[in-house]
Structure 1
């Protein structure tokens, strides 16, 4: 009786098991499709490169640009976030980052307007922490590329993404010291967005803190956001770290950040990502100002 019941249960469970196998196969086929699309993007050079200005909030001068590489829209990658999330968990991450770094820096030099060629503006390039920790990255390939482009490492800022990938903060701090000795600087992205970002600030001591856009959104009318900004600013002052506010979309946000003494800013209100690294501008000097005198509210990636 027990044996017959066991076989009956197995027979009843068979359709569910087959559904499970079918689901796994379907997911694996999707992953293979995404991997094929990623390889195709690299092999055919299909990333679009843009440059978004970062301004000094005290005087409106452009201090640098963040390089943004965006994939073409596809069924495999409906958003840029989907694309980078997938790339970050594949065994192609080092190859992909090397490809991104080369096109980021070479396109920056190639598209730099003649009027800007003599400046010492900084270039912020997004880097996955796992790549910096890879021995292949420490072989001097980036320095060779910079020498080829006649670009000083002192002008390059590694902007760390995917902080959860850092497992050994003490060891990673030593890795960053290696790059600092060569002249590179470090920025931590999305500061204030959670425990990992605060832990990163303490251990890695970046030269730049980039405040999360959700902290900046509507900050002129939120006491809670203002208090958090004040705490981060105090920490930055004590640790000689410079602060960049991301995602500035309105003139009200900009005015509050200026009054709060934030040194740098980035966002659609100051300059949209463009084909070439052009200077940004305050809303009052920009065509983004509405007829009523305020900055139009626009969705910002940064």
Structure 2
């Protein structure tokens, strides 16, 4: 090794060592929630550090570690930090989600098994750890990486693919790795309630997940409309600022959000309300613009109860010539 190379290695060692100081790197956690169970099922560990002259983001730090053949050293450090920090807060049935960079297997110092060793004295079980592989990661050797994942799975660990739908390699990565979870990228989730094209894409991923037995998680949920539409599509696992920003200690599911989702979920079952002034024309317009499901959804009939939406459609079709009339008198006879 030349003197210049020795200086470069020493310099990169010094830089990385400074970031692995306990006062420099820290972990924030963002909850992953299950709205059907109204609970937090796990936390994603996110590496953070104060503003730096060297790197603008953790992504740049990990890229630097990869380029200098120190990726395993950095990943091991951050994973130990994430596990140590979460122990007082992680409940028995909750999971910790940690990043796994595919390129780590090419690091000269890489040795599998260190995560299992870390867990021995923590009280955590391997099935509480989910290795999260970003879709942006380039996997040059699927055969070797699959073997690594098989090793982890035999120990009880779970595997997730992050950012699904953000790049061109999603389908190959899904088919090759057969993940336990697929996290749908926020680019498909943002304003999903307003764009049918995004809905079609997410529906397709739902079908793939169903065939493979993979759980579907929506990332980047930020609004009521997005949350409600995802519930309507049958997606209950979500993550995003709508629930909590990354923080430490790990943030719980806010009670106000839990109560709000419960109320919204209830009201979502009754997307249509009919009263004495409702006309057939208004019902026809509503049916033509309604984008939700008809199965297990109802119309609230003022003072009379509920009517399945499928029955509402039959009712309107059977009175298709009465567009300008109110529905009330005809609806009474329909009920009797």
| TM-score w.r.t. length of structure 1 | 0.76
Structure 2, unpaired ranges of 5+:
261-336
Tell me if structure 2 keeps the 8 A contact 1:269–1:283. no
Counterpart residue number, 1:102: 80
Matched, 1:271 2:249: no
3-state secondary structure, aligned to 2:20: helix
Tell me if structure 2 keeps the 8 A contact 1:161–1:189. yes
Matched, 1:78 2:78: no
Matched, 1:244 2:222: no
Q: What is the CA distance between 1:281 and its match in structure 2?
A: 3.8
Tell me if structure 2 keeps the 8 A contact 1:55–1:63. yes
Instruction: Quote the Cα distance in structure 1 between the aligned partners of 2:105 and 2:152.
Output: 9
Counterpart residue number, 1:141: 114
Counterpart residue number, 2:39: 61
Tell me if structure 1 keeps the 8 A contact 2:48–2:58. yes
Distance 1:156 1:196, change over 3 A: same
Question: Among 193, 198, 201, which residue is 1:225 paired with?
Answer: 198
Task: Please list the CA deviations of residues 95-148 of structure 1 after superposition, one character each: whole Å capped at 9, or x if unmatched.
Answer: 0011011001011114x1xxx64x310110111112256685544221111012
Tell me if structure 1 keeps the 8 A contact 2:223–2:242. yes
Tell me if structure 2 keeps the 8 A contact 1:270–1:282. no
Matched, 1:205 2:189: no
Task: Please list the CA deviations of residues 166-185 of structure 1 after superposition, one character each: whole Å capped at 9, or x if unmatched.
Answer: 11223322221111000001
Instruction: Quote the Cα distance in structure 2 between the aligned partners of 1:248 and 1:149.
Output: 32
May I ask how many residue pairs the two structures share in their alignment? 255
Question: Among 23, 26, 34, which residue is 1:48 paired with?
Answer: 26
Q: How does 1:4-43 map to 2 (within 5 A)?
A: 36-43=14-21
Distance 1:87 1:139, change over 3 A: closer
| TM-score w.r.t. length of structure 2 | 0.69
Distance 1:76 1:31, change over 3 A: farther
Question: Among 115, 120, 126, which residue is 1:153 paired with?
Answer: 126
Tell me if structure 1 keeps the 8 A contact 2:98–2:132. yes
Task: Please list the CA deviations of residues 145-171 of structure 1 after superposition, one character each: whole Å capped at 9, or x if unmatched.
Answer: 101212110100000136543112233
Higher normalized contact order (CA 8 Å, seq sep 6+, divided by chain length): 1
Instruction: Quote the Cα distance in structure 1 between the aligned partners of 2:259 and 2:55.
Output: 33
Task: Please list the CA deviations of residues 18-71 of structure 1 after superposition, one character each: whole Å capped at 9, or x if unmatched.
Answer: xxxxxxx9xxx9999776433201134411211111001323211111011112
Instruction: Quote the Cα distance in structure 2 between the aligned partners of 1:58 and 1:64.
Output: 14
Q: What is the CA distance between 1:283 and its match in structure 2?
A: 6.2
RMSD: 2.7
Q: What is the CA distance between 1:195 and its match in structure 2?
A: 1.8
Task: Please list the CA deviations of residues 247-271 of structure 1 after superposition, one character each: whole Å capped at 9, or x if unmatched.
Answer: 1011111001111111310001011
Tell me if structure 2 keeps the 8 A contact 1:38–1:87. yes
